[in-house]
Amino acid sequence: MRTIADHLIDIAENSVNAGSKSVEIHLYEDETKFEFEILDDGRGMGDKQVSKIFDPFFTTKNKKTGLGLPLLKEYAELTGGSVEVISKENEGTKVKVLFKKTIDCQPIGDIAQAFATLVTSSDQVLWKIIRCNQDNCYDFSSEDVRDLDLTNPHNIKSIFEYFKRLEAAFR
């Protein structure tokens, strides 16, 4: 994963794959740090599974490795940041990530594209997004676009453009 936005998508997709019906993303940025928190109501994990999630050879998917969380942890810690995962079986999971903006920090990447990709990926998930850059914030709920056909390319393009406009206000 080359950017922080890639990590954000990976963690949020894990939430969808865990059967979540609701996923909240809270993202905060200032001059010194970039942090995000993803909360879901998916199937969650027990303590034994949580203790293994940073092992690159542990995965619940049909593949041999699970590199997403181990790489996220490594990259965050290289900056002096951290990754915290709290999960309860049959209740959901919270992943909290802090990157300090040091020379070792990965590029943030295209947050607008990340959000739009997630929102258009599944109309079965209620997405709630709160994004702040210092004191400037916006929030989004996929309830606002529930009536849109997410298989229609025009509607998908509109959602991508919407997030681009929101993110442009931060730069």
Note the pLDDT tens digit of each residue in 60-116: 666 545 578 889 999 999 999 999 999 999 999 999 999 999 999 999 999 999 999
Q: Which CATH architecture has domain 4-109+125-143?
A: 2-Layer Sandwich (3.30)
Residue of 126, 107, 137, 140 lying closest to 34 (CA atoms) = 107
Q: How many CA atoms lie within 13 A of 165 on its CB side?
A: 7
* Domain ranges for the chain: 4-109+125-143
Assess contact for 133 and 102: CB atoms under 8 A: no
The pLDDT > 70 percentage for the chain reads 94
Assess contact for 126 and 23: CB atoms under 8 A: yes
Residue 157 has pLDDT above 70, yes or no: yes
User: What residues form DSSP beta bridges with 128?
Assistant: 24, 141
Coil/strand/helix, residue 47: helix
CA 94 – CA 77 distance, rounded (Å)? 18
Residue 119 has pLDDT above 90, yes or no: yes
What confidence tier does 123 reach under pLDDT thresholds 50, 70, 90? Answer: confident
